[in-house]
Structures are given as structure tokens and as C-alpha cells.
Structure 1
Amino acid sequence: MKKLLLLSVVTLVGLIFIGRMIYLQVILSDQLQLEAENNSVKTIYDYPERGFIYDRNGELMVANQVAYDVMVIPKETGDTDLSKLSQLLKIEESRLKKKLETARKWSTKQASVIVPQLTQEEYAPLQEQLRKFPGFYIQRRSLRKYLVDHSASVLGYIREVNQSTIKKDDYYVQGDLAGKSGIESQYEKELRGQKGFKKYTRDHYGRAIESYKNGINDVAPVAGTDLTVTLDKELQEYAEQLMINKRGGIVAIEPKTGEILTLVTAPNYDPSLLMGRDRSKNINIILRDTVRTPDLNRVLQGQYAPGSPFKVINALVALQEGVVKPQERFSCNHGYNYGGKKKLGCHAHSSPLAMNRGIAESCNAYFAQIYRRIIEKGSTSSKGMDVWHDHVTSFGLGDYLGYDLPVGQPGRIPDGDYYTSRYKYKWYAPTTISNAIGQGEVAVTPIQLANMTAAIANRGYFYTPHIIKKMNGEAIDNPKYTKKNYTTIDAKHFEPVIEGMNDVYKSGTAKYVQIPDIEICGKTGTVENFARINGEKKQLTDHSVFIAFAPKDDPKIAIAVFIENGYWGSRYAAKIASLLVEKHIKGKITRTDLENYLMTHSLEYEYAKRLSDKPFKINEAVDKGRISKDKEADLNKLYDSLSLQILN
């Protein structure tokens, strides 16, 4: 028994010694080697080239340029002379201290960006001097270079990731850049590529001196995917020129594919402002501009009453429901009386009118009467409204549409339940009569209006609007964008409506903006506009709206233009739409009279003048809305004094 116990003790002691030897010679050795490696080896990320962005014709819009970040590893900084370093980096010492503290909180051992996006000129004098400050070094990266000075709202921009993004995606580390809006955000994973890294041995100052183990552990970066988008660069640039000193949005779609040809929101800004050392300052300026709101994408996020362009939808629904025939005539006595002294007004024109002239003349009385028939066809007003709602939403209205851009609003197409919950009494078709002319509770975004127009151009179907066309030169094969979305309206009912839209140009409300040799179908709109200024509700200048597609029988473009405070439809929106149709189809402009008008008239002056509580005079240099450049400062002072809350 004693022998067995002794043997057990000897065996146990032996095992302990063996285990200790293994730990010291294998495990601890590896750990010590790793620690030694961490102390003597520096890992530097090798950032890939971000994917290029081309327009539909292969024109390069966004490329890359070399930039340099000043990095820091807090643990290695020692007693750095921050006063001298701040002078070298050309930043305030207090700001440098704050950045270092932020870096320490994130990690003392891992690198953080202290000064990002230096140009080659800014980097050159730092290259040697920075070696005197332990823990600081330069990291080369690829930065965006915008080859256009427009399209910021659709291209988007890249920005340093925050902690929330880092937690969600372990690809990113402190100081990395990622797309924050537009195409840059929507296709971030494709554009960013895959980071690589290189290991270097370093001296006691932390400086990289040579490749570690001849680069055997290095990983090469993988470049991002090049994107070809559906935008037409020239059309986009021209559209932005037409929107100078105006507010609103333009969106054009190719009906046969759903490809977005142009998407412009105004006011806008040069995308290159959000690159380089001044980007943070410029971003703050843009975000704090609560009057112009250049960061708001009005095409995707602006929810407006559609006005008279919505009448063509009511015409289609009325035909589908069989409550009207195209030849039936309705009287208009400067409007429509729908109960007691209540009247929906209308401008002067011939009477009575059938559907064709009702559309061409934009008669409110005509559409009020056919809308009422639609709602009253149901056994109750609520059920009639539900039928109307289902037809209208089949055109993509009241929905986000599913396009491949990261922001949007659904708009609003009310149904029976909406009014039943809104009104505590029994309601009838006249209660909602404003819907007949695109006012009332109806709200749409400009991209929905353009998509609706594409569905009409196609005689009853549309493709989901999208911005992506190719990836690395290969056409996309996504059924989401190649599947036809059918409306609830039979194809036969579109012809009389399209004839009416064609007559809008030939003899109706847009007859003065015709384009030679192009059969265009369109519809003007004038939208009432209210705002609350210093607590008081005031009516402001109406919005100018226009939808169009062309050519009539082989549509290549469907367009919606929405101009805030643009008066009536043909004053601004119709002129812009006509010029863009001509530019797209002909490749040149012949209606230079329309172009000259748009290039020389400013709505910024009118907008500011009508919102101001105080007398507003710049001087005699401002005439009929034209603003000389030397008076922009006066306008900016006025904008800062305004307090505006748009009513929902």
C-alpha cells in the first residue's frame, strides 16, 4: 500500500514538472514571442481603392486620390510635446488633447486617426518632422475625388465611421471611412473592397524600418467594385443648372427599364466640399442651414400635394370603374358647387368639356364630378374610398417604391379607415373633394410622380425605379428591377388620357412650351402652399408642378418637376421639363428662349421676400426676381432671421 502511494506521489510530481516544462517551453514561449512581436512589429492597414462610379454612358463621375492620415498609438506617445506637435499639425493644442483623449478611450494599443485626409502638399513637410514624436505616424489611404461639381444628393459622400458602425460591422476600425448617403451608402459593401495589411519591424521610436519576415504574413487589399449607374451625366449637369436659385426636385426615368436618368434636388452643393481637412466644417454648415436645407433630398423625402397632375389618375380610375365615358361632357361655371355655398373654384375656359379637354384645360369642376362618382359608387363612402385607394396605390403612390437609394418617404393615399378615424361624424364624397384635384390629404414624393408618369407612358405597368446599371462592367440581373409591376387599370383606358395629356402641349396649359418635332404628353399643376410664420398661418406662393413623357408612342423619358414657390405649372416646372426632354432626345436645345428665362430668373428672392415679416429691399439691382451676385450676403442675412415651420 505504501509502495503504491509513493508511486502515485512520484507520478503526480513528474506530471506537474512535465506540464510546467511544456508551459514554459511551448505555451509561454509562444505568448512571450507574441508579446515581443507586438512590441517590435507594427501592423499598418493597406486600404483598397474604392470602386469607381461611372454614368450610364461610361463617363467617370467619381474616382480616387491619394490622401494621408496622421495616426497615433496612445500607449507609445510618452511625454510628447503637444505644443510643438499642434504647431506642426496646424491644429489647436486643446483640440489635439481632446483627440488624444478620445483615442485613448477607444484603445491605448491600437491606432486612431488624429488628423485625417491630408493632401500631398500638406503631407510633405510632415514626413520627416513627425518621426520626432513617438507613437505618431502617417498612414496612406485612398480618398474620393469627384470629377463633377454636381449630384451630391444622389452620389452621396464618405465619412469617418462612428462607434455604432464599428460595433455593427467588425470590418471597420476607428478612423475608417464609409459611405454616409446616396450611392456611396447604398452600395458601401461593394464599393469599399477588402482591406489588406503589412507588417513592419520598428525601432524604439515606433518607426517602421523594414518588412517583417519579408512580408510572408502580409495580405494584399482587394479593390472595390466599379459601379455604372443609370444617371446621364450631361442631363444631370444640365438639370442642376436649370435649378440654380430654385428649390425643389427633378427626377426622370426611362419607362422601358425603370432606370433613373436624372435625379436633382435643389438647393444642392458641390460634393468635393465634403472631402479634405475642411469637410467637418462644411458638413456643419450644410446641416445647420435650416432655411435652404441642402441636405434634404426633396425628390425622395419631400412629401407634397401633387396638384393637377393627379387628375390623370382620377380619370383612369373613373374609366376603370365605368363611371364615365371619354366623350361625356361636364359643365364648369368657374368651379363646382358641392354643397350649399361650398365651391371648388376653377379658372376661365370653355364649357362643357369632355375628358380630353378636361385634362388639357385642367378643369377642376370636371374632375370633382368624376371623383365624386367613383366614391359614391361604393355601398358606403368608406368602401368607395377603399376602391379608389387600391387603384391609386397600384401606381406606386403611397409607398416607398423599393428603389435602391437609402432615404425616402411613403407619401399618403388615404383610404376609408383614414377618414372614418379622422371624422367623428358621417362623411361623404364631398368631404374629400380636394382629392379630385390632387390637394386635400393626398401627398406624394417627386419620384413617385415620375414613376406614375412612367406607368402611364407604358400603358399600365412600371419597373421599380433604380440607380444601379452595372457592376464591374456586368449588367445587373436582379428580378426586383426587371419585373413588370402592373396597375389595376386596363390598357385600353390609357389612350383617351394620353390624348388629353398630348393636347396639354398642343392646345392646353403647356402650349407655349412645345418642343419642335417631339410629341410630348404632359400635365401642369399649381399647388396651394401654406406655412406658419411666427405662429400665424399664411398662404405663400404656389408650387409649380409638371409631369411629362415623350415621345408619345415610343416613350424614352418620363419626368416629374416640382418647384417650390414657383407660381403656376407652366411658369417654371413645364419649361424645365420641356428642355430636359429635348436635351435627352435631341442632345441639344432649340428652345433657347425657355432656357434664357430659367437661367436668369431666381426664386430665392421671391421666397425670401414673401416669408419676411419686415420690409425687404435689397436695392434697384434686384429686378423681377433677378439677383446680382454681390447681393447674396444680404439674402443670407435675411435667411438667418426667418422662422419658418412648414405645415404638414
Structure 2
Amino acid sequence: MLENRRFVIIGFFAIVGLIYLARLFYLQVLDESYSIVSSSNSIKRVIEIPFRGQIYDRNGKLIVYNTPVYDLMVTPRKAKVEDTLRFCRVLGIERREFDSLMNVASVYSRNKPSVFLRQLSKEDFASIQDVMVDYSGFQFVKSSLRTYTAPTLANTLGYVSEITKKQLDAQEEPYYRQSDYIGQSGVEKIYENELRGKRGTKFVMQNVAGVYKGPWKGGELDTMAVAGSNLYSGIDLETQQYADSLMGHKVGSVVAIEPSTGQIISMVSAPTYDPNILASRFFSKNYSALVRNPFKPLFNRPVMASYRPGSTFKLIQALVGLQEGVVTPGSGFSHANCPVGCHNHAATTSIALGVTHSCNPYFYHLFRRVIYNNKISNTFKASAAGLEDWHTRVSKFGIGQQLGIDLPSERKGNLPDKKYYDKIYGENAWKFSNIYSISIGEGEILITPLKMANVAAIIANKGYFYTPHVIHGVGDQKKLDPMYTTRRETNVDARHFAPVIEGMIGAIQSGTAKSARIEGITVAGKTGTSQNKKGDDHSIFIGFAPVENPKIAIAVFVENGGFGGQAAAPIAGLIMEKYLTGKVTNKALEKRMMELNLLNKVVLTPEQRAMLKSDTLRKKAPESNSLLKK
């Protein structure tokens, strides 16, 4: 027994010894990384940053691409600058800027290289590379710069900038390093993982002075950088730029959707800015100027701004009333005993006429019937059940929730329910007189321009929609998240849309939306006027065309634009005509809308006015990348 135990123990130690010998052989002979580490004084590991994916419009036109640039790196411990003034003149920087940059680099690490100057153009690199040989501790690293083919879509595309310490610390996997760039907003942020690509690694030999001596082992351990996936959008670049021009000197939004797919055709947030100014080494300075701008050009209004929808909300009310069976297409209401005023028009004897004339009393009575399920003998007491049923119906249109667009910071807006009013008035202490303003799209309802464009798409489709999205394909295979190809139902029967569309056509032909007419094309539309306590009311229009085969659904919001037919409707009509026909026939209307300046109607504080005046007087254009002083 003892003899057997002795053999077991000897065998155990023999196996352990063999394992150690095998591991030693692997580390010294087979594992190249061990060799690299042991030769760290002569072999350098170089990380290659891949190009980010490019972005295209629906017709294959390039929107965003990459321009090669150079980053100047510094290793503080090795840096020797005897003539600082000459060094600063070469790089086109001030002495105080030199001191600040060196201090930042030293704080990061005195022994590791970090960025000294970013994004030098190839012309700048060519002009200074020979001079920089005189300054040890500095080296150039090839990089790339996001470049835009047109000064448009700034908020939708978003911007790329240096990763923050908070973002570095929050990484689940250690991919990014200090000084790396990352998508911070818009499409660049949502599709960061797809756009960033895959890093490459090179091992190069150098002598004790750090001079490059060629690839190590012929580059057999090198891995190539893989460029990021290209993105294919539904944006029509020509239509987008035209919409930008119409929204110049205004505050507001344009959102145009292809109803059959949910693809975004155009998305304008006005005022806007040239995205190229945030793709430069002067990012901080230019970004600060945009933040200070009182018109908030960084605020992405299509998905973040909330407005009362005004009369455009009557379209949803009509469809809910028809589906609930409390009205029929031929139902009529008088103006009697109604607390909301009406426009000067003949009696409203049908749903279609109610929409065409945008009759406030009509939709007051319709909403009351929905809330009380046609039992309107006593409306002094709250009907919580009726309000909850109405809330459920309306929420199917995407109201009061995030639609799920592929952009960050989408706002839900507000769709009041029993819980909301209980919180304001006390449990069941509210009645119809407290809530009737939402019958005409006022009161507590808040909605984003994106949602109203989606409502137009729902009506164009007669009851369903696809989640709106900017990107319809990722990579060569043009992959797309299934959520964007899943049909979402409103549970309103298709037959109920006919009288509502009839009323929208009437609004275009003879009602409040006549300024959105397009010669030879049948347009369905509805204007709205959103009440505004701080200045003139906001102008709203939603619609789609052609009615027979809808290709575009649109929502236009113009702050301080007055009635819906004054500013929003004509802008929408021009954009739809441009997209559908490639031209605009009403040049006089086009000229008037382009020249319409509503910025002076925006209510600003005295401090904001002073800031705006100061910036205007300076007339200083955003700085570019060039180091060359002319």
C-alpha cells in the first residue's frame, strides 16, 4: 500500500514538472509576445486606427467621408525645444498655448506619447515635417478627419470628438484609449460600433534613438486595420438642402418620411450649422460658440422639441371617434353650447367638413362623445374609464412615447391620462371642463415634429407605420435592425381613413392649407396653430402626397410663424414638390419663403440679445484646420 502511494506522489510531481517545462518552452520559443516584451527597447507596437465608415444618401451620393490628416504626438520626457518661439511660429500657435499643451501632456504621462496638436492637413504636414526633425520627442501619427460634402444634417449626423474620461471609465470592454475619437451625437453615436471599424497592430524595429528600422519579422505578426461599415441612409440630399434653404432665418423643424418604409427623407433642425466646423482641431472653440448661441443650433428640434400640436391633432381625434363608433362619417354638430370658438364657415355636417374647416366645436363635441361613450347627459363628473380608453387609442399612433428612431435623446412628449390629472386636481376630482382643451390639440398635450410626421405617414398608409429611421442599411450586406421592418398597427380600421383624407384634400383645395397645393398632384394636408405664451403662435402643417400612392409624408413646424397656412404649409408644399418632381413651379412663393425672416420674433433675454449682437459684430467665421497664415 505504501509502495503504491510512493509511485502516485512521484507521478504527480513528474506531471507538474512536465507542465512547467511545456509552459517554459511555449513562452521562450513559441509565444512571440514574450519575445516582443523582452525586446521592448528595440521593438515598438504601433496601433493603426481604421477609417470610420462613410455615410450615403438614398441615391448613393456621399454625405460623410474621411480626409487623411496627421496628429503631432509628444513624449514630454524626450521632448527638447531649445527655441520655443521658433517652434511656435512653425506650428502657428502662441507661447501660452505651447505651455498649456505641454502641461496637459505631462499630466497624462511624461513617458508615454500623447496628442500635442490634432488634425494637421497633409499640406501643413508637408510644410513642417522637415523642420520637426530638429525637435526630438515629437512624432507624427496618421489619422483621419470626418468631412461633409454639404453643410447640412448637422444634428442628424452628429459629430465625433475626443473620448471623455467618464466615457473611458464606463467602458465594458477596454477598446478605447485616451485621445481616441468616438461618436458623441446623432447617427455617429447610435452606430458607433458599426462605424469605428477594427484596429490594426504593427510591430516595428527601432534603434536606441527611436529611429525606425523596418518591420519586425517581416510583418508576419502584424494585423491590418479594418475600416468601419458604411451606412446607407434614406436621406435625399438634394431635398434636404432645399429644405434647409427654406428654413433659413427661422426656428423650427422639417421631418419628411417615406410612408411605405419609414425611412427619413429629410430632417431639418433650424437654425443649423455647418458640421465641418466640429470636425477640426478647433472643436472646443467652435463648440463653445454654438453652445452660447441663443437660438440653440445644437438642439435637435425634430426629436427633442415639444409643442402643442394644435389642429393637426384633430385628425387623430376623428379617427378615434370613428373607431369607437361614437360618430359616423356623416355626423354633424352645431356650434351651440360650446366653450371653444370657431372660424367663420358654414354648418359642419360631416367628419370631412370638420377636418376641412378645422372646426373647433365639432371636435369638442366629438371628444366629449369619446370620453363619455355617447352618454353625455351628465358631464359634470369625470369619466376616468373613457379617458383611459381614449389614451390607449391615441398612444397607438406613437403619441406620448418614444418611437424608437435611430437617433439619441428622442423625447416622449406628453399624452395626459387619469394618473396625470389625478396628480394635478386630486383623485377623480377633475371633470370634462378641465380637459376639453385637448380636444383641439391644446392643453397638456406635447408632441415632437417627428411624431406628427409619423401621424401623416399613418394616415397615408391607412392605419399602420414603420418605425422612422435614418439608416436603412449597414455594411455591404445593408443589414437593418428588424424593428425598422416590423409593421406597427394603430388598430383603426382602414375604412375610417377615407373621410379624414377627404377632409385633408379639402383643406388643401379650399381650406386653410391652400398654400401647400402642388400643380398636377393631389395633396392631403392639415394646418395647425400651436399656442405660444412667449410671442407669436407657432405655425404647423402635416400632410402627404400623392394621395393615390403616397411617396412622402411631412411635418413642418415654424416657431412664431403664426397660422399654419402662413409659413408651415407653403414650406411643406414646396418641399414635397421638389422631392416628387425635382423642380419648383411657384418661384414667387419660393422666394417669399426663403426671404421670410422670423428670428427677430423669437423672445430672447437681454443677455441673449447682447450676446447675439456681440457675435454678429465680430463676424468671425469658424476656424478651420489650416496652420498656414496668409
* TM-score greater than 0.5 by the shorter chain: yes
More moved, 373-382 vs 520-529: 373-382
Cα distance in 2 between the residues matched to 1:220 and 1:294? 39
1:54-94 deviations in whole A, cap 9, x for unaligned?
10110111111110001123343368765554443333334
Cα distance in 2 between the residues matched to 1:548 and 1:365? 23
Given that 2:152 and 2:275 are in contact with CA atoms closer than 8 Å, whether structure 1 keeps it comes out as: yes
- Indicate yes or no: 2:445 matched with 1:450: no
2:323 to 307, 320, 324: 320
- Indicate yes or no: 2:556 matched with 1:561: yes
Q: Which position in structure 1 is the counterpart of 2:350?
A: 354
Given that 1:246 and 1:563 are in contact with CA atoms closer than 8 Å, whether structure 2 keeps it comes out as: yes
Cα distance in 1 between the residues matched to 2:547 and 2:448? 24
Q: Which position in structure 2 is the counterpart of 1:180?
A: 184
Give the aligned CA root-mean-square deviation in angstroms: 3.0
**Which amino acid in 1 is paired with 2:460?**
A
1:221-241 deviations in whole A, cap 9, x for unaligned?
111111111111111111101
In structure 2, the CA distance between the partners of 1:146 and 1:370, relative to structure 1 (3 Å rule), is: same
1:571 to 550, 553, 566: 566
- Indicate yes or no: 2:224 matched with 1:220: yes
Compute the TM-score of the two structures, normalised by the length of structure 2.
Answer: 0.87
Q: Secondary structure at the match of 2:533?
A: strand
- Indicate yes or no: 2:373 matched with 1:377: yes
In structure 2, the CA distance between the partners of 1:370 and 1:422, relative to structure 1 (3 Å rule), is: same
In structure 2, the CA distance between the partners of 1:118 and 1:407, relative to structure 1 (3 Å rule), is: same
Q: Which position in structure 2 is the counterpart of 1:482?
A: 485
Given that 2:321 and 2:370 are in contact with CA atoms closer than 8 Å, whether structure 1 keeps it comes out as: yes
**Which amino acid in 1 is paired with 2:295?**
R
- CA apart distance, 1:218: 2.0
- CA apart distance, 1:43: 2.9
Q: Which position in structure 2 is the counterpart of 1:502?
A: 505
**Which amino acid in 1 is paired with 2:241?**
E
1:490-514 deviations in whole A, cap 9, x for unaligned?
2221111111111111111112431
Q: Secondary structure at the match of 2:98?
A: helix
Q: Which position in structure 2 is the counterpart of 1:231?
A: 235
- CA apart distance, 1:105: 3.8
Q: Which position in structure 2 is the counterpart of 1:305?
A: 308
Given that 1:382 and 1:417 are in contact with CA atoms closer than 8 Å, whether structure 2 keeps it comes out as: no
Q: Which has the higher contact order (CA 8 A, sep 6+)?
A: 2
Q: Which position in structure 2 is the counterpart of 1:136?
A: 138
Structure 1: unaligned runs, 5 residues or longer: 1-18, 338-342, 532-539, 617-631, 639-648
More moved, 209-218 vs 177-186: 209-218
Q: Which position in structure 2 is the counterpart of 1:12?
A: none
Cα distance in 1 between the residues matched to 2:196 and 2:481? 21
Cα distance in 2 between the residues matched to 1:450 and 1:157? 25
- CA apart distance, 1:312: 0.7
**Which amino acid in 2 is paired with 1:331?**
S
1:426 to 426, 429, 432: 429
- CA apart distance, 1:391: 0.6
Count of residue pairs the alignment pairs up: 589
Structure 2: unaligned runs, 5 residues or longer: 1-19, 376-381, 619-630
Given that 1:256 and 1:458 are in contact with CA atoms closer than 8 Å, whether structure 2 keeps it comes out as: yes
Given that 2:332 and 2:348 are in contact with CA atoms closer than 8 Å, whether structure 1 keeps it comes out as: yes
2:443 to 425, 440, 444: 440
- CA apart distance, 1:252: 0.7
Q: Secondary structure at the match of 1:74?
A: coil
- CA apart distance, 1:213: 3.0
2:361 to 350, 362, 365: 365
1:357-395 deviations in whole A, cap 9, x for unaligned?
111111111111111111122995211111111111100
2:593 to 598, 608, 611: 598
1:508-564 deviations in whole A, cap 9, x for unaligned?
111243111111111000111013xxxxxxxx1000000001111211111100111
Cα distance in 1 between the residues matched to 2:406 and 2:35? 49
Given that 2:457 and 2:465 are in contact with CA atoms closer than 8 Å, whether structure 1 keeps it comes out as: yes
In structure 2, the CA distance between the partners of 1:176 and 1:552, relative to structure 1 (3 Å rule), is: same
Compute the TM-score of the two structures, normalised by the length of structure 1.
Answer: 0.85
More moved, 151-160 vs 273-282: 273-282
- Indicate yes or no: 2:577 matched with 1:582: yes
**Which amino acid in 2 is paired with 1:232?**
D
**Which amino acid in 1 is paired with 2:125?**
Y
- CA apart distance, 1:132: 2.6
Cα distance in 1 between the residues matched to 2:553 and 2:250? 21
Given that 1:250 and 1:559 are in contact with CA atoms closer than 8 Å, whether structure 2 keeps it comes out as: yes
**Which amino acid in 1 is paired with 2:277?**
L
2:475 to 472, 478, 487: 472
Cα distance in 2 between the residues matched to 1:109 and 1:41? 16
Given that 1:505 and 1:520 are in contact with CA atoms closer than 8 Å, whether structure 2 keeps it comes out as: yes
1:410-464 deviations in whole A, cap 9, x for unaligned?
1111111110111037211221111011110000110011111111111111011
Q: Which position in structure 1 is the counterpart of 2:408?
A: 406
In structure 2, the CA distance between the partners of 1:104 and 1:308, relative to structure 1 (3 Å rule), is: same
The equivalences for 1:610-621 within 5 A come to 611=604
**Which amino acid in 1 is paired with 2:246?**
L
In structure 2, the CA distance between the partners of 1:368 and 1:567, relative to structure 1 (3 Å rule), is: same
The equivalences for 1:125-274 within 5 A come to 125-167=127-169, 168=171, 169-274=173-278
Cα distance in 1 between the residues matched to 2:605 and 2:335? 37
In structure 2, the CA distance between the partners of 1:512 and 1:453, relative to structure 1 (3 Å rule), is: closer
Cα distance in 2 between the residues matched to 1:517 and 1:566? 28
Cα distance in 2 between the residues matched to 1:69 and 1:553? 55
More moved, 182-191 vs 558-567: 182-191
**Which amino acid in 1 is paired with 2:489?**
Y
Given that 1:398 and 1:413 are in contact with CA atoms closer than 8 Å, whether structure 2 keeps it comes out as: yes
In structure 2, the CA distance between the partners of 1:491 and 1:434, relative to structure 1 (3 Å rule), is: same
Cα distance in 1 between the residues matched to 2:614 and 2:53? 42
2:543 to 525, 540, 548: 548
Cα distance in 1 between the residues matched to 2:406 and 2:466? 13
Cα distance in 2 between the residues matched to 1:35 and 1:550? 66
In structure 2, the CA distance between the partners of 1:508 and 1:634, relative to structure 1 (3 Å rule), is: farther
- CA apart distance, 1:45: 2.3
- CA apart distance, 1:116: 0.5
Q: How much identity, in percent, do the aligned residues show?
A: 40
In structure 2, the CA distance between the partners of 1:102 and 1:36, relative to structure 1 (3 Å rule), is: farther
**Which amino acid in 1 is paired with 2:581?**
K
Q: Secondary structure at the match of 2:536?
A: strand
Given that 2:257 and 2:457 are in contact with CA atoms closer than 8 Å, whether structure 1 keeps it comes out as: yes
Q: Secondary structure at the match of 2:242?
A: helix
Cα distance in 2 between the residues matched to 1:633 and 1:78? 45
Cα distance in 1 between the residues matched to 2:352 and 2:151? 43
Q: Which position in structure 1 is the counterpart of 2:4?
A: none
